[in-house]
Structure formats: structure tokens, C-alpha cells
């Protein structure tokens, strides 16, 4: 009588570092230096006229890619691959559909949390001014904006919820600490939106981090991040063109 095959043994989560520590320290220092420079220029945004935002969007895309390349170098130094930090796999259409459904459900939850945060913190005039300057106006700007949103969704999730969260998990040994620490770096990178904006983005980043830790994959977060940025830009453009806000 043959015995039934034993179930496969679950593989433990890889908690090894994804880059040398010095690589991460330099990265955080660079992000903080850049965001402080942006923060000092925020007050001048109201006096800046941007006739064509396409070059600005292209520059932002290039910057996102440069940051991703820096992460990739760190991964190579530790013999890791991008797929190691992205996680997940779409073997069937159903797998893709599941991540879409999760991204939609996550959007509802995130909007609810951010709505409450907005009520508690009040209006963020600095952040609104910064965001309004970035909103696309023309069809060409809208196309470039969508490309920027897709790039940001992939690159920022890989950088913050992939690279940083995995690195902080390796250094602290705790998922909760990794989620919080990467969210703090993510929020600091958005200080140009004012302190209220930075707090809001930190909470948003923590939600993304919790999603990544739960799914062991960045794919639903990437979908939601790209979709959210696309939606916000296009809806904001519609509102500006129809004078729904100044």
C-alpha cells in the first residue's frame, strides 16, 4: 500500500538584505537632501508659470528611472534580482484579475483612511498649490502625465515597498518596523507638499507597505499607484479646465 504524497513544505520568507547597508544609507541621504531643496523652493511655486509641462514630466520620468537604476545596482551587489523584491507572478488571467480586484478594494480603503486624515489635519494649502502646478492642461501633457503615472507606479513601489521595505525587514527582523520605516522615507520624499502632505503621504505609504507585506507582492500596489496617479491628474485637469477650483 503506497502512502499519499506529503504536502510541499512552505519556504520561509527571504529576510536577507537586498543591498549593502552603505548603499541604503547613501540613498536615504540623497532623498533627504533632494526633498529639503524642493521644500525650500515650495514657497516660490505660486509665482512660477509653466507654459509646457511635458519637459517637466519627462525629467521626472528620467529621475524615477535613475533611482530605480540605483536600486538595481544595490541588488546586483547583493546578488538579488528585481523580481526578488517585486514578488508574485501572473500565471493565469485569473491571477491578474485578482490583483486588479485587490487594487480596487485597496483604493476604497485608502480613500476612506485618507479622507479621515484630511479631516483631522485640515486643508493643506502648500500641498494643493504644489499639486495644482503639476496637473496637466493640454492633451500632450495628459499623455505625458499618464506615462509618468505608470513609471511612478512601477518605480516607486519597487523602490519603497520593494527595496526599502525588504532592507528594513532584514535589518530589524520585523514586518511592522519595515512598513513604518519605509513609509517615513516615502513621506520625507514628499516634504515639498508641506508637513501635512508629508504626514498624509507617510500614512498612504504605510498602507501600501501593509498591502505588500500581506500579498508578498508589489503588483497590486503598482496597479493601484499608477491608476491613482492617472486618475488624480486627469480629474484634476478636468476640474481646472471647468474652473471647479482656482
At 153-166, the pLDDT tens digits run 999 999 999 999 99
User: How far is residue 208's CA from residue 229's CA, in Å, rounded to a whole number?
Assistant: 14
Q: Once rounded to an integer, what is the mean pLDDT over residues 177-194?
A: 92
> Does a structural domain hold residue 125?
yes
Question: Does 119 map to a domain?
Answer: yes
pTM flag (> 0.85): yes
Assigned domain for 1 exists: no
Task: Provide the domain limits for residue 173.
Answer: 21-42+51-241
Nearest to 208 by CA among 190, 193, 228, 194: 228
Alpha-carbon gap, residue 232 to 100, rounded angstroms:
18
**pLDDT 10s digits, 122-133:** 887 777 777 788
> Length of the chain in residues, anyone?
246
Best CA proximity match to 245, nearest among 125, 165, 102: 125
Lowest mean pLDDT: which of 53-57, 132-136, 222-226?
A: 132-136
Q: Is residue 89 in some structural domain?
A: yes
Asked if residue 94 belongs to a domain, the reply is yes
In a domain, 104, yes or no: yes
Within a domain: 219: yes
Domain annotation covers residue 118: yes
Q: How many domains does the chain have?
A: 1
Amino acid at each position: 500500500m503506497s502512502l499519499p504524497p506529503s504536502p510541499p513544505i512552505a519556504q520561509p520568507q527571504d529576510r536577507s538584505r537586498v543591498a549593502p547597508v552603505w548603499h541604503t544609507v547613501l540613498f536615504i541621504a540623497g532623498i533627504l537632501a533632494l526633498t529639503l531643496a524642493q521644500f525650500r523652493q515650495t514657497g516660490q511655486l505660486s509665482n512660477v508659470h509653466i507654459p509646457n509641462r511635458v519637459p517637466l514630466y519627462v525629467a521626472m520620468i528620467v529621475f524615477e528611472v535613475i533611482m530605480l537604476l540605483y536600486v538595481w545596482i544595490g541588488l546586483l551587489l547583493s546578488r538579488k534580482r528585481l523580481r526578488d523584491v517585486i514578488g508574485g507572478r501572473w500565471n493565469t488571467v485569473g491571477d491578474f484579475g485578482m490583483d486588479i480586484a485587490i487594487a480596487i478594494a485597496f483604493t476604497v480603503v485608502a480613500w476612506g483612511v485618507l479622507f479621515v486624515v484630511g479631516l483631522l489635519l485640515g486643508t493643506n494649502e502648500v500641498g494643493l498649490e504644489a499639486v495644482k502646478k503639476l496637473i496637466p492642461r493640454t492633451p500632450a501633457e495628459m499623455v505625458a502625465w499618464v506615462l509618468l503615472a505608470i513609471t511612478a507606479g512601477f518605480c516607486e513601489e519597487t523602490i519603497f515597498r520593494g527595496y526599502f521595505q525588504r532592507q528594513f525587514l532584514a535589518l530589524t527582523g520585523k514586518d511592522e518596523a519595515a512598513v513604518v520605516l519605509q513609509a517615513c522615507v516615502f513621506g520625507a520624499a514628499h516634504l515639498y507638499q508641506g508637513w501635512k502632505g508629508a504626514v498624509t503621504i507617510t500614512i498612504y505609504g504605510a498602507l501600501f507597505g501593509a498591502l505588500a507585506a500581506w500579498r508578498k507582492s508589489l503588483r497590486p500596489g503598482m496597479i493601484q499607484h499608477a491608476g491613482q496617479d492617472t486618475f488624480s491628474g486627469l480629474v484634476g485637469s478636468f476640474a481646472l479646465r471647468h474652473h471647479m477650483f482656482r
